[in-house]
Amino acid sequence: MKIRILFSLLAAIVLNGCQQPLQNGDTRTEQYLPLLESRQVAVFSNHTGMVGDRHLVDLLLENRVNVTAIFSPEHGFRGKADAGAGVSDSTDPDTGIPILSLYGPGGDVHPSADALSRFDVLVVDIQDVGLRFYTYYITLCHLVDVCGEFGKEVIILDRPNPNGHYVDGPVLDMRLRSGVGHLPIPVVHGLTLAELIGMAQGEGWLSEAGNRCKVTPVLCKHYTHGTPCDIPIAPSPNLPNLQSIYLYPSLCPFEGTVVSLGRGTDKPFQQYGHPAMEGRYAYSFTPESRPGALNPPLKGQVCYGVDLSALPDAREKGLDLSYVIDAYSILREKGQADGFFTPFFDKLLGVTWVREMIEEGCSAAQIRERWMPEVEAFKVLRKKYLLYEE
């Protein structure tokens, strides 16, 4: 009887421990506020940098931290700009702090020497989604490079990766390095931002100065890579919910094709279609101009295709190329395969051979089989840099 009671108590303790709420790094103020005393502080963040019901910038100011600059990524500090749209410098109307855009008309940009003279330490708090072509980590890599060059420190207030439970897709061929692919990692890398920067420094993937930059991670509490996590604030305009975030690895390759993935609708990254797919599918949608997608592909045209917004278990699907292959096969049957792929497709996938295999008629399973040895090798390397349990 005593053994049974003891076992029940232990089980209750374990269960309660598993149910403890996940805490982002930014909630652990005791870990990082002492590091900011008497220092000039810059913040790299956007609309996702909320600590409860207030923004990190406001929290820092309330604690008498001297915030001298805010750096903003693609989509801007308020997260409303279109994908790829240049964002100008501005001033935060609530605090008067200058907002310095790191995503100008030409894409990702480096901060100027003047911007770097404004701070001693950079605090990072931004929600990533764990994809190689999602640009926030690229901007952070550039920031670490220049911070190392100018002797600045970096503190990363870590956040969970909603796609952190798996690794998938081909590893970037660095000859295709671009604004949507910066490091030799798979499409789905399975790392938080703190882990990814640690890996980039440890493997020497940043500049010489970036590799030696002092980076301090403030970890999440009660998080493992297997922990399902809610993302209460959409990280960018066209990733409105978890379903879109889970489908993002599989549907983003459509950005490099003539097919719409739902930009300009209420289901971006949750559906795909094209006018020429009429007759094969009854479901349809029509992209229109809306905030975050002012001029979406196939604007004003009725697109016939597939609605994935209610797809069950999207979190477990991984990177599924069958959707792209499906659309390519239909348009090829209709004699419209020429021009299906744009040069952007190879940049997104990070290799040329995926497109070539699709054009040769290979299945999604055959293509996955080719990239899996790279994935397994990366997972071995990745283990050295994990800050959380799998």
Residue owning tokens 């959380």? 388
By the 8 A CB rule, do 178 and 172 touch?
no
Q: What is the pLDDT of residue 331?
A: 98
Residue owning tokens 């798996």? 166
10-residue block means of pLDDT along the chain (390 residues)?
41 46 97 98 95 95 96 66 56 86 62 89 98 94 96 98 98 97 98 98 98 98 95 94 98 98 98 97 97 94 98 95 98 95 98 98 98 98 98
Token digits for 144? 């670490």
Integer CA distances (angstroms), 182 to 173, 187, 245, in order: 10, 11, 20
Number of helices and strands (H, E) in the chain? 12, 16
Task: Name the pTM for this structure.
Answer: 0.91
- Nearest of 201, 195, 196 to residue 185 by alpha carbon: 196
Q: What is the pLDDT of residue 279?
A: 96
42 vs 169: CA distance, rounded Å? 35
Neighbouring CB atoms inside 10 A of 115's CB total: 18
152 vs 120: CA distance, rounded Å? 5
By the 8 A CB rule, do 237 and 75 touch?
yes
Q: What is the DSSP string of 236-288?
A: STT--SHHHHHHHHHHGGGGGBSSB-STTSSSTTSEEEEGGGBTTB--EE---
Q: Residues with Cβ < 8 Å from 60, sequence gap 6 or more?
A: 36, 41, 43, 67, 123
4 vs 267: CA distance, rounded Å? 51
Neighbouring CB atoms inside 10 A of 254's CB total: 23
AA identity, residue 387: L
